[in-house]
Amino acid sequence: MADYDESRLTVVDHPLVQHKLHILRDKTTTTKQFRELVNELAILESYEAMRDFPLEDVQVETPLETMTAKRIAGKKVAIIPILRAGLGMVDGILELVPSARVGHVGMYRDPETHLPHQYYCKFPADIENRTCLVVDPMLATGGSLTAAIQFLREAGVKDIRCLTIVSCPEGVKATLDFDPDVRLYTCTVDRQLSPNAYILPGLGDAGDRIYGTK
């Protein structure tokens, strides 16, 4: 079992999450179902990832009287999907935070070395002032996720929260060891990596299953 800082890891184990996850894993789940489930899990997971956003008082006039209500205090959010599978989580989070900006990090994994190679990176102009939610359904070796974290740190981002659906101990450790301040949210930590760097038991290639490619 990999040794990592569990205080910065949140496993979102709500019954709804676990129910949807079991359908996601099933090899007979259709592309349409898979895409919808990834979207739904992103909503549930981002809800937890934003739980500690600070609130401030604001005066609101209801149809009956004026009252003091609460609103999020000055938080600006950016969603950073790791292409291509991470795109499947973006719309769900935008349903919760429609004003969020979206940046993109494009990487592919070398089939021999399993190392990530960047081919695209673009962030909102004020990225350093935003809480960044880095999204990718699978956390395997951690190579792509740590590379994205590095790009964001170099751009001046202070608050980075990573959201994955299926992780493994090796990827969790690599991510949390790489950056002492990053926080990680996932729906499950699976058993291990296979020799060809796939998560076991996992759910296969998330990108292929989201977009119906092989």
Inter-residue contact 131 to 75 (CB < 8 Å): yes
CA distance 50 to 205: 27
- The Cα-based distances of 8 to 93, 161, 172, 173, 180 in angstroms read 21, 10, 10, 11, 9
Does residue 142 fall inside a structural domain?
A: yes
Catalytic residue among 25, 35, 101, 109: 109
Does residue 29 fall inside a structural domain?
A: yes
CA distance 1 to 76: 36
Does residue 108 fall inside a structural domain?
A: yes
- Quick one: average pLDDT of 84-96? 95
Instruction: Determine the structural domain holding residue 80 and report its residue range.
Output: 9-211
Catalytic residue among 30, 113, 126, 213: 113
Inter-residue contact 76 to 130 (CB < 8 Å): yes
**Is 208 annotated in the active site?**
yes
Does residue 1 fall inside a structural domain?
A: no
pLDDT at 48: 96
Catalytic residue among 91, 159, 177, 208: 208
Task: Report pLDDT digits (tens) over 111-162.
Answer: 777 677 778 889 999 999 999 999 999 999 999 999 999 999 999 999 999 9
Among residues 54, 81, 72, 53, the alpha carbon closest in space to that of 163 is found at: 81
Residue stretches of the annotated binding site for uracil: 199, 204-206
Query: If you average pLDDT over every residue of the chain, what do you get?
Result: 93
Residue stretches of the annotated binding site: 84, 109, 136-144, 199, 204-206
Does residue 3 fall inside a structural domain?
A: no
Question: Please, is 110 exposed, middle or buried when counting C-beta atoms within 10 Å of its C-beta (0-12, 13-18, 19+)?
Answer: exposed
Inter-residue contact 191 to 167 (CB < 8 Å): no
**Is 52 annotated in the active site?**
no
Does residue 72 fall inside a structural domain?
A: yes
Does residue 26 fall inside a structural domain?
A: yes
117 forms beta bridges with 108
Does residue 16 fall inside a structural domain?
A: yes
Q: Domain with 193 in it: what CATH number?
A: 3.40.50.2020
- Quick one: average pLDDT of 54-60? 95
Number of structural domains found in the chain? 1
